[in-house]
């Protein structure tokens, strides 16, 4: 299990969840957050990628993944970056969590509102000794821009990636903004998986270097209707 705690200006996410083993991968649920931990001795890949060559055994670079593998109880928190270019404002929110939370989520346009970018904010936290979880939403960027940002995150050593659909712009303070949704969250997960495990973009272009992503997805099974099945969650697990 993972528990969320707050900090000045932080936003609590989701409601409730449960977790348990699924095949060879351990699923850890926290409110809306689900992390899939690849087994250390092998790599699970989704069916669309089965025929592609897999790189050598993936090394664990994420402190969050390493802690989860140890079986220790994990606590995470979430911080919404400020509408500011001053890293001090971000650190004012985040520093009370250092040493308290094992990792801190950095939102990506939370509430469909502009703020300091998640990749930049995650790097600021990393440099301050806080393990960041960098969120990527599908709302604002097409696949090229998302691929650019994934490569940039890997270059900066940001390993924890949480893939989300993103809030509807109509819910934000600029309701006339046009949503993109070139990819949905499952496809973006497959993109990150392809970069990490196969060293290439989905269309086959090779990627230099190595990405050590620890991938996460989200689900909100709140008050499900009778007969509800976690098909969406299963699809995300299969996607990586």
Reported as a single tens digit per residue, the pLDDT across 201-214 is 999 999 999 999 99
The pLDDT value recorded for residue 151 is 98
CA torsion sign, 127 to 192 to 240 to 12?
positive
- Residue whose C-alpha is closest to residue 7's, from 103, 108, 73, 78: 78
Say which residues have a Cβ less than 8 Å from residue 158's Cβ, sequence separation at least 6: 119, 122, 123, 126, 132, 134
b/e burial code for range 92-108 (CB count within 10 A of at least 16 → b): ebbbbbeeebbbbbbbb
State the pLDDT at residue 51. Answer: 53
Q: Does residue 144 have a pLDDT over 70? A: yes
The average confidence (pLDDT) of the chain is 82
At residue 52, the pLDDT reads 57
Mean pLDDT of 66-92: 96
Residue 232, pLDDT score: 84
Would the pLDDT of 95 be above 90?
yes
Q: Which residue has the tokens 């969250």?
A: 185
pLDDT digits (tens, 9 = 90+) for 150-164: 999 999 999 999 999
How far apart CA 132 and CA 122 sit, in angstroms, is 5
């Amino acid at each position: 299990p993972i528990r969320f705690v707050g900090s000045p200006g932080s936003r609590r996410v989701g409601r409730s969840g449960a977790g348990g083993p699924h095949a060879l991968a351990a699923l850890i649920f926290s409110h809306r957050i689900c992390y899939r931990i690849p087994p250390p001795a092998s790599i699970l890949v989704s069916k669309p990628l089965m025929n592609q060559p897999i790189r050598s055994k993936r090394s664990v670079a994420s402190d969050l993944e390493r802690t989860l593998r140890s079986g220790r109880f994990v606590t995470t928190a979430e911080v919404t970056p400020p509408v500011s270019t001053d890293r001090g404002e971000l650190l004012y929110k985040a520093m009370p969590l250092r040493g308290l939370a094992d990792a801190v989520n950095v939102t990506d346009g939370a509430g469909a509102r502009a703020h300091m970018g998640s990749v930049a904010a995650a790097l600021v936290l990393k440099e301050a000794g806080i393990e960041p979880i960098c969120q990527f939403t599908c709302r604002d960027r097409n696949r090229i821009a998302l691929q650019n940002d994934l490569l940039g995150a890997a270059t900066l050593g940001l390993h924890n990636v949480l893939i989300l659909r993103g809030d509807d712009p109509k819910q934000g303070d600029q309701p006339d903004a046009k949503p993109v949704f070139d990819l949905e969250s499952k496809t973006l997960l497959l993109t990150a998986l392809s970069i990490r495990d196969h060293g290439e973009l989905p269309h086959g272009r090779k990627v230099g270097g190595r990405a050590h992503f620890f991938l996460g997805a989200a689900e909100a099974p709140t008050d499900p209707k009778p007969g509800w099945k976690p098909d969406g969650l299963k699809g995300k697990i299969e996607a990586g």
